[in-house]
Amino acid sequence: MNFCERCNVAFSEDRCPKCGRKKLRAVRDDDFCLVAQVDRACGENLKRNLESERIDCVLMPYGTGFRSKFALPLESYLVYVKYKDFDYVRQMLKENA
């Protein structure tokens, strides 16, 4: 698997599917990778569930420019987990969807 340090995504192609960058390195087990975009309530639930299983998880607020400009709560989160937990978390999200 390759890893793009700019976007934090892991993928098998030889260029990043998000930014098109070709300067990549092999992914490591402790790299945080983008696993999903979820709404706010779902993100907070997910983080709690993962923490109870001792899985590290990072939530990045993600919303429209309009909302952030007026300081309203951002509507969703980008969810990052370590590569070693990536498949597990993705599976978990699929089952809960």
CB-count exposure of residue 38 (10 Å: 0-12, 13-18, 19+): buried
Q: Which is nearer to Zn ion, 17 or 75 (CB)?
A: 17
Applying CB under 5 A, the residues found at the interface with Zn ion are 4, 6-7, 16, 18-19, 21
Q: Which is nearer to Zn ion, 6 or 67 (CB)?
A: 6
Asked whether 74 and 67 are in contact (CB, 8 A), the reply is yes
State the minimum distance, in angstroms, from the CB of residue 22 to Zn ion. 10
Our CB check for Zn ion shows the closer of 22 and 67 to be 22
